[in-house]
Amino acid sequence: MSAVDLTKSFLGAVFSGQLDEALALTAPEARFISVSPRESAANPLHGTFVGPEGAKAFFGGFGALLEPGDFTVEAAFGDDRHAALYGQFRHTVRATGKPSRDMAA
């Protein structure tokens, strides 16, 4: 399976609520970085999360802050080890009930 196909399968599992299936696809050296690789007390999604436990922490924090909404992958590319996906997402901020602004992922 290519890195792009693996990443799409991972995201499909995450956004369909099958986190255990997604974690089973996660390599120990996988790195998850949201907006910033540096941790921030103001935003628990900032930082670098590594491996299955990092993925669990990141997506657990994601679910605590945001209600998943639209997530569309428009393009993807990569090789055997690396994948990059580009698209749009729009989620609802749980604390305010307001939609997140449209963002590129």
| Contact indicator for 78, 93 with CB cutoff of 8 Å | no
Residues of the domain holding 68:
3-104
Q: What pTM value is reported for the model?
A: 0.79
CATH number, position 94: 3.10.450.50
pLDDT digits 0-9 by tens, 33-87: 887 899 988 888 899 999 999 999 999 888 888 888 888 899 999 999 899 998 8
Beta strands per DSSP E along the chain: 31-33, 48-50, 66-78, 83-93, 103-104
Q: Strands of 103-104's sheet, edge to edge?
A: 66-78, 83-93, 103-104
Q: Give me the number of domains the chain comprises.
A: 1
Q: DSSP letter at 8? A: H
Quote the CA–CA distance of 28 and 84 in Å, as a whole number: 19
